[in-house]
């Protein structure tokens, strides 16, 4: 087992070689990885089965088991993500405009690789491939540190990716997995100054908070998702029901699933029974305000501020009846995590106010929050969804994994 410092040395050693790879070489490596994943799907599923069995024995919640599980369909989806990344334009080397100074200097900016990118994540084996593919296409080496729950899956995936690169004559050390899944290895990674150029946590609130508070290397914060669906007074109620059910129930364990429903008082009596009926087949538990409870009865649990701020990651949702668009926006901006927010409305002015005033990485009009995803946005795979405001915000694709440097052309100028 390679120790973390050895891995860091290997990644730092190859980062310049990875940065110099041409687009065709990087794409060739990504397509080889995609082929390897589909060819060896049985091996991946067998390794994943060990993680699933261990997770169930450890009492992991159903939502976490769902995040952990790999089947043939999901493996094909992961491989397709690699192919999509290969098909995307290469951001490395893009020149972001030039301007000429009065002294004749021509000054511009150029996209360049980060160098070595670290990713700490939890029980999401698909992140192992998504992160590696994006970092490789962006011209950077990566150090991946997954959770113990997905260890066997991540190890199998990493071995296949490294072998695919090596078979193509490309540097295998562009992709590295930390085999030590102890908390100590995560803490060490947070302090790999001189090795890591940036560290990205991807997981629950506890992990993200620990990295942000303890890291001495630069961090891009990806966030939890307390996402809202607000049904406005002018909403098409049938549309609102479809959006709510999709946003809450299609895959409740992910960060872009809806966790809170807000309903304008003028349509609450009509819409709340529709909402309850739509959510009932999945057994969604409602935590509601007194007005919600008065309409829906004793099946609704009383909601607290803790409920309104909670990311359930399961079949539960908070619900509040609001008097106005202003109250809805204020409530969202108080309790949300800056991820994804939706208004269902037929009023253009209301939609524009919601877009302008809600503080989140992705704001929707008449569409499910479940679309906040690199694949759905056309980025291919994603490294995570940033809820911070510096450098990157929202689904982070290739461009977010590059930085820039100034390039200056002169003709003998001195100052």
Q: Which two tokens stand for residue 361?
A: 């990485």
Instruction: Tell me the C-alpha distance between 367 and 193, whole Å.
Output: 42
DSSP per position, 266-330: HHHHHHHHHHHHHHGGGTPEEEE-HHHHHHHGGGSEEP-HHHHT----SSEEEEEEESSHHHHHH
Instruction: Tell me the C-alpha distance between 290 and 298, whole Å.
Output: 11
For residue 100, the cross-strand partners are 106
- Using pLDDT thresholds of 50, 70 and 90, give the confidence band for residue 355: very high
- Residues 48-107: tens digit of each pLDDT: 999 999 999 999 888 788 889 999 999 999 999 899 899 999 999 999 999 999 999 999
- Using pLDDT thresholds of 50, 70 and 90, give the confidence band for residue 383: confident
Using the predicted structure, report yes or no on whether residue 283 has a pLDDT greater than 90: yes
Tokens 């940033």 belong to which residue? Answer: 386
* Helix (H/G/I), strand (E/B), else coil: 395: strand
pLDDT averaged over the chain? 93
- Using pLDDT thresholds of 50, 70 and 90, give the confidence band for residue 2: confident
SS (H, E, C) 12-30: HHHHHHHHHCCHHHHHHHH
What is the set of domains in the chain, with CATH numbers? 4-222+396-409 (3.40.605.10), 227-371 (3.40.309.10)
Report for 147-151, 299-303, 345-349: range of highest mean pLDDT: 345-349
Distances, alpha carbon 251 to alpha carbons 16, 67, 244, 259, 404, in Å: 40, 10, 12, 12, 37
Using the predicted structure, report yes or no on whether residue 384 has a pLDDT greater than 80: no
Q: Count the neighbouring beta carbons within 10 Å of the beta carbon of residue 400.
A: 24
- Residues 16-45: tens digit of each pLDDT: 999 999 999 999 999 999 999 999 999 999
Q: In the prediction, which pLDDT does 396 show?
A: 81
Question: 14 near 125, Cβ under 8 Å?
Answer: no
Using the predicted structure, report yes or no on whether residue 204 has a pLDDT greater than 80: no
For residue 230, the cross-strand partners are 262, 343
Q: Which letter does DSSP use for residue 203 in this model?
A: S
Mean pLDDT of 375-383: 75
Q: In the prediction, which pLDDT does 242 show?
A: 97
Higher pLDDT, 390 or 144: 144
Using the predicted structure, report yes or no on whether residue 250 has a pLDDT greater than 80: yes
- Using pLDDT thresholds of 50, 70 and 90, give the confidence band for residue 381: low
Residue among 165, 160, 123, 166 at smallest CA distance from 145: 123
Residue percentage of the chain with pLDDT more than 90 = 79
Q: In the prediction, which pLDDT does 212 show?
A: 86
Q: Using the CB atoms, write b or e for 242-260: b if 16+ within 10 Å.
A: ebbbbbbbeebbbbbbbbb
Q: In the prediction, which pLDDT does 231 show?
A: 98
- Residues 174-198: tens digit of each pLDDT: 999 999 988 899 999 999 999 999 9
């Amino acid at each position: 087992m390679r120790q973390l410092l050895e891995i860091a040395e290997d990644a730092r050693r190859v980062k310049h070689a990875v940065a110099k790879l041409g687009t065709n070489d990087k794409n060739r490596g990504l397509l080889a990885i995609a082929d390897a994943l589909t060819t060896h799907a049985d091996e991946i599923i067998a390794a994943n089965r060990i993680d699933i069995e261990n997770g169930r024995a450890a009492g992991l919640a159903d939502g976490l088991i769902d995040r952990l599980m790999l089947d043939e369909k999901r493996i094909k989806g992961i491989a397709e993500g690699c192919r999509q990344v290969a098909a995307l334009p290469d951001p490395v080397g893009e020149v972001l405009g030039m301007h000429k100074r009065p002294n004749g200097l021509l000054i511009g900016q150029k996209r360049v690789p980060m160098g070595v990118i670290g990713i700490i994540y939890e029980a999401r084996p698909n992140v192992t491939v998504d992160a590696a593919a994006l970092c490789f296409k962006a011209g950077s080496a990566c150090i991946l540190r997954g959770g113990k729950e997905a260890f066997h899956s991540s190890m199998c995936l990493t071995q296949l990716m490294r072998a695919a690169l090596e078979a193509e004559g490309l540097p295998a050390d562009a992709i590295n997995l930390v085999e030590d899944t102890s908390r100590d290895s995560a803490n060490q990674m947070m302090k790999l100054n001189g090795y890591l150029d940036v560290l990205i946590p991807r997981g629950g609130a506890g992990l993200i908070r620990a990295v942000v508070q303890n890291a001495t290397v630069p961090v891009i914060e990806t966030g939890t998702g307390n996402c809202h669906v607000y049904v406005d007074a002018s909403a098409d109620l049938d549309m609102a029901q479809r959006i709510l059910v999709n946003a809450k129930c299609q895959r409740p364990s992910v960060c872009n699933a809806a966790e809170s429903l807000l309903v304008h008082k003028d349509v609450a009596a009509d819409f709340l029974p529709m909402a309850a009926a739509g959510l009932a087949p999945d057994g969604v538990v409602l935590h509601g305000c007194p007005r919600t409870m008065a309409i829906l009865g004793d099946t609704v649990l009383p909601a607290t501020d803790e409920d309104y701020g909670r990311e359930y990651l399961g079949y539960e949702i908070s619900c509040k009846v609001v008097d106005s668009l202003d109250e809805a926006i204020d409530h969202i901006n108080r309790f949300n995590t800056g991820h994804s927010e939706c208004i269902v409305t037929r009023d253009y002015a209301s939609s524009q106010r919601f877009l302008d005033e809600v503080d989140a990485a992705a704001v929707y009009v008449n569409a499910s929050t479940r679309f906040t995803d690199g694949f759905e946005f056309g980025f291919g795979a994603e490294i995570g969804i940033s809820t911070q405001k510096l450098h990157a915000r929202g689904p982070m694709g290739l461009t977010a994994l590059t930085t820039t440097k100034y390039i200056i052309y002169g003709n003998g100028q001195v100052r």
